[in-house]
């Protein structure tokens, strides 16, 4: 780098700090997360979702043909819907899997490798450890959503195409490119918040175990259980508590005028999950054996 000036010795100095700076920790954590092969594999898979969707629709679908899952039918000849449809599709499994993997590796995986002990002995500080780990998982969540959204927009414009840079809403109105991209960004932000809810819960589970697979099983099992609970009519009163019951709100971004109720309430619900997950994580990490 640039510190090769011969006169000055390498700039490592002894410090009297009792904890390492949080910024350095978080940066190291993010670097570590991004170098991990499985993170990169999952991000690559996520990039394939909009591509596969777009190519499939371009090859087979036309307006009116589609009876595909979710919003897929709305994508044909309407490329800017692709990122939103792809996010909705990925939110059902692949995106939760990605953040759950990151959260599983963050605490349970580190414990399994014996590296958590090193961090506790440094010492990083147990609350700062949670903050640092949360930064890593947050990065994965944001990147995962961005990959789907950006690849989705590009695939939508290039492969699927559409009426000259506009988006046709489900309500039959037409939005210009700027507003269409705004809608995509809205869904991306909303999806990130939903993923953070999953990430917080996954981190909490991760704080209790040293088996990363337990975390993945808990998250995916939880999503399946939520799906089952949501399908039982006599448990309808549970609906407001289930994270997944707000996930149809993503399609609201394709309605015109934009209804914000569903997006807002599902965001609020996700934030409650985030707070509870974070509190449990901190509580458990403060008493966990290293």
Partner 1 sequence: MTAAPSVAAPATAAAPDAVAARVRGLRKTFGATVAVDDVDLDVPAGAVLGMLGPNGSGKTTLIRMLLGLTRPTAGTVELLGHAGDDLTAALPDVGALVEGPGFHPFLSGRDNLLRAATAEPRLDGDLRGPVDAALERVGLADAARRRYRGYSLGMKQRLGLAAALLVPRRLVVLDEPTNGLDPAGTRDVRRVVAELRDAGATVLLSSHLLAEVEAVCTHVAVLQTGTLLVSGELRALLEADAGGLVVSTPDVDDAILALREAGAPSYRAEGGVAVPPGALEAPEIVAALVGAGVAVWEVHRRRAHLEELFARLTEEDA
Partner 2 sequence: MGRRSWVGAGLGAALVGAVGVGLLVAPAGASAAPPLPPVSPEDLVSSVMTAQRGPFAGEVEVDNALGLPAVPGVPQLADGTSTVRVWSGGEDRGRVAIPSPDGERTLVSDGTTRWAYDSRDRTATRAPAGDHGGPPEGQQQDPTAAATQAIATLRQTSTVAVDGTAEVAGRAVYQLVLTPQPTERTLLREVRVAVDAETRQPLQLTVLAQGQGEPALRVGFSEITYGPQDPSLFTFTPPPGTTVRDAPARDGEQRPEGDRPRSTVGDGWDTVVIGQAPQPGDGRPRDGQDGQDQRPEGAPDLSALGQPVSGPWGSGRVITTAVATVIVTDDGRIAAGAVPQQVLTEALAR
Residue 287's nearest CA partner among 137, 105, 130, 110 is 130
Q: Of 258, 278, 276, which is closest to residue 190 (Cα–Cα)?
A: 258
Torsion of CA 71, 74, 75, 79, to 10 degrees: -120
Query: Does the bond joining 257 to the residue before it have cis omega, within 30 degrees of 0?
Result: yes
Which option in partner 2, partner 1, none does residue 64 bind, with CB closer than 5 to 8 A by kind?
partner 2
d(CA 67, CA 77): 15
Answer yes or no whether residue 287 interacts with partner 1 by CB under 8 A. yes
Write down the least CB distance from residue 169 to partner 2, Å. 8
Residue 85: closest CA among 219, 165, 191: 191
Residue 252 interface partner, choices partner 1, partner 2, none, CB cut-off 5-8 Å depending on type: partner 2
Instruction: Sort 131 into a burial class: Cβ within 10 Å, 0-12 / 13-18 / 19+.
Output: middle
Minimum gap (Å) between residue 65 Cβ and partner 2 = 9
261 binds, among partner 2, partner 1, none (CB under 5 to 8 A by kind): partner 2
The interface with partner 2 within residues 151-180 (CB under 8 A) comprises: 163, 166, 168-174
In 3D space, the residue among 213, 20, 50 whose CA is nearest the CA of residue 124 turns out to be: 20
**CB within 8 Å of 275: residues ≥ 6 apart:** 200
Question: Out of partner 1, partner 2, none, which partner does residue 279 contact, by CB within 5 to 8 A per kind?
Answer: partner 2
68 vs 212, which CB is nearer to partner 2?
68
Of 158, 224, 235, 279, the one binding partner 2 by CB under 8 A: 279
Site for partner 1 in 112-131 (CB under 8 A): 113-125
Summarize as ranges the residues that interact with partner 1 (CB under 8 A).
3, 9-20, 24-25, 27-28, 32, 35-37, 113-125, 287, 289-290
Residues that bind partner 2 (CB under 8 A): 63-64, 67, 69-71, 73-74, 77-78, 127, 163, 166, 168-174, 233, 236-237, 240-241, 248, 251-252, 255, 257, 259, 261, 265, 268-269, 271-272, 275-276, 278-279, 282-283, 286
């Amino acid at each position: 780098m640039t510190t090769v000036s011969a006169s000055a010795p390498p700039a490592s100095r002894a410090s009297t700090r009792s904890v390492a700076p949080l910024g350095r920790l978080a940066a190291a954590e993010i670097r570590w997360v991004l170098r991990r092969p499985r993170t990169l594999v999952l991000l690559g898979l996520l990039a394939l979702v909009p591509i596969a969707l777009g190519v499939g629709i371009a090859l087979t679908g036309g307006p009116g043909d589609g009876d595909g899952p979710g919003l897929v039918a709305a994508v044909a000849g309407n490329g800017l819907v692709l990122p939103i449809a792809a996010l909705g599709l990925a939110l059902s499994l692949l995106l939760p899997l990605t953040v759950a993997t990151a959260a599983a590796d963050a605490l349970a995986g580190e414990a399994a490798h014996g590296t958590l002990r090193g961090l506790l002995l440094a010492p990083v500080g147990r609350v700062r450890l949670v903050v640092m780990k949360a930064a890593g998982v947050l990065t994965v969540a944001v990147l995962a959503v961005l990959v789907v959204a950006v690849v989705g927009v590009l695939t939508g414009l290039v492969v699927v195409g559409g009426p000259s840079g506009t988006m046709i809403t489900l309500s039959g109105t037409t939005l210009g490119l700027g507003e269409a991209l705004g809608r995509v960004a809205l869904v991306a932000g909303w999806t990130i918040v939903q993923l953070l809810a999953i990430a917080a819960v996954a981190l909490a589970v991760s704080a209790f175990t040293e088996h990363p697979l337990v975390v993945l099983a808990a998250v995916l099992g939880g999503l399946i259980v939520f799906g089952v609970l949501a399908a039982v009519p006599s448990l309808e009163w549970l609906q407001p508590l289930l994270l997944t019951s707000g996930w149809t709100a993503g399609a609201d971004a394709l309605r015109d005028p934009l209804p914000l109720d569903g997006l807002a309430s599902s965001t609020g619900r996700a934030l409650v999950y985030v707070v509870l997950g974070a509190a449990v994580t901190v509580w458990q990490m403060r008493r966990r054996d290293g």
